[in-house]
């Protein structure tokens, strides 16, 4: 082939944006950049490299995505109160002089255990005042040498079950009924439990313009102290999402929700499409498959590391 012709063809090819090389008179197309390389670069820019030791030290909890219940909830507020059906005021059977007192506020008592000894004013016979039920002494108005009269000397409460008194506004009254499941948390979310609506007041309170909804809550571990403020979530409906993640796992990056997916080198931030959610779980519509491992707790540490790395690169 004429040398001038080969050079001319090569120049025309470059001008047309078609790259090829000539080996022994044959044309071979040069590889062009493909989209996969761009996607790989994008993934690399969202990668956080961490060893297993650093992951554990940072308190990052890894879980696997999978099915979970998503609840439609109604948030309410309230307080812990003693179960009034398991509360007893104790007074003297016969007025007299209090000779001795066996229990103080905070003491645990068994049913029939002595609270005080009283000498009757009429018979001058001493008799023992006993606890009417097992529980704890929550009030005492008795001291040796005093007259018992007809006043309440002790209050004994069985706190193995307590009430959660919730304030129910008129707009929500039609949604709440007996038997519905309720998740209860202390104000700082340090303690949580579950009970059911046992009572909805038929009348409201004029001062607060609310009705009372009551939850019976197990308290055998004595973690719910009467008087504490609590938040509650009444479950109105419930369904199962095929793929769901922990509600604390999602981090906002570039204005979009992302999840940190576990990789052999650490984690990679991946955009996802969230669906329904409640206080515990978020449904995943796309971006994460069932069985994939992700950072469920303390994922904000990974976000901070990623942003720091991107800032350093810039």
Examine the domain organization and report whether 281 and 260 are in the same domain: yes
CB environment 70-103: b (16+ within 10 A), e (fewer): bbebbebebebbbbeebbeebebeeebbbebbbb
**Count: domains in the chain:** 4
Q: Look up the domain containing 166 and give its range.
A: 73-83+160-238
Q: Which pLDDT score is estimated for 10? A: 44
Name the residue among 296, 275, 290, 287 with its Cα closest to residue 55: 296
Same domain, 62 and 99: no
Residues 273, 144 share a domain: no
Q: Beta partners for 268?
A: 47, 261
- pLDDT averaged over consecutive 10-residue blocks of the chain (314 residues)? 46 41 41 44 71 90 94 93 96 96 96 97 96 96 96 96 94 92 91 94 89 94 93 92 94 92 93 90 94 93 86 70
**CATH number, domain containing residue 97:** 2.40.50.100
Q: Which helix (H) or strand (E) holds 235?
A: strand 229-246
Question: Residue 22: its pLDDT value, please?
Answer: 37
Each residue's pLDDT tens digit, 277-288: 888 899 999 999
Task: Kindly report the pTM of this predicted structure.
Answer: 0.64
pLDDT digits (tens, 9 = 90+) for 204-242: 888 889 999 999 999 999 999 999 999 999 999 989 999
Q: Say what the pLDDT of residue 43 is.
A: 52
Residues 187 and 78 in one domain: yes
Are 137 and 262 members of one domain?
no
> What pLDDT score does 44 carry?
53
Co-location of 172 and 51 in the same domain? no
């Amino acid at each position: 082939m004429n040398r001038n012709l080969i050079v001319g063809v090569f120049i025309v090819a470059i001008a047309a944006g078609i790259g090829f090389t000539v080996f022994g008179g044959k044309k071979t197309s040069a590889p062009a950049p493909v989209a996969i390389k761009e996607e790989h670069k994008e993934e690399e820019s969202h990668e956080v490299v961490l060893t297993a030791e650093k992951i554990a030290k940072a308190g990052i909890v890894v879980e696997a995505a999978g099915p979970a219940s998503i609840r439609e909830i109604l948030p309410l507020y309230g307080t812990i109160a003693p179960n009034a059906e398991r509360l007893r005021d104790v007074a003297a059977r016969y007025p007299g002089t209090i000779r001795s007192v066996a229990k103080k506020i905070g003491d645990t008592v068994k049913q029939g255990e002595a609270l005080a000894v009283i000498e009757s004013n009429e018979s001058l016979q001493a008799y023992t005042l006993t606890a009417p039920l097992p529980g704890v002494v929550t009030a005492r108005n008795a001291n040796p040498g005093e007259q018992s009269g007809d006043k309440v000397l002790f209050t004994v409460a069985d706190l193995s079950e307590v009430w959660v008194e919730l304030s129910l506004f008129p707009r929500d009254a039609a949604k709440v009924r007996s038997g519905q499941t309720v998740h209860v948390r202390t104000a700082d979310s340090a303690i949580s439990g579950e009970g059911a609506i046992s009572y909805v007041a038929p009348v409201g309170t004029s001062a607060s313009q609310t009705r009372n909804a009551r939850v019976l809550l197990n308290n055998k571990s004595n973690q719910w102290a009467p008087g504490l403020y609590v938040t509650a979530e009444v479950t109105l409906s419930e369904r199962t999402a095929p793929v769901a993640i922990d509600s604390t796992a999602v981090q906002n990056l570039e204005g979009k929700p992302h999840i940190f997916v576990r990789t052999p080198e650490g984690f990679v931030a991946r955009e996802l499409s969230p669906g329904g959610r409640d206080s515990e779980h978020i449904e995943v519509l796309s971006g994460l498959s069932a069985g994939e491992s992700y950072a469920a707790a303390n994922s904000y540490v990974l976000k901070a590391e990623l942003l720091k790395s991107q800032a350093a690169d810039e």
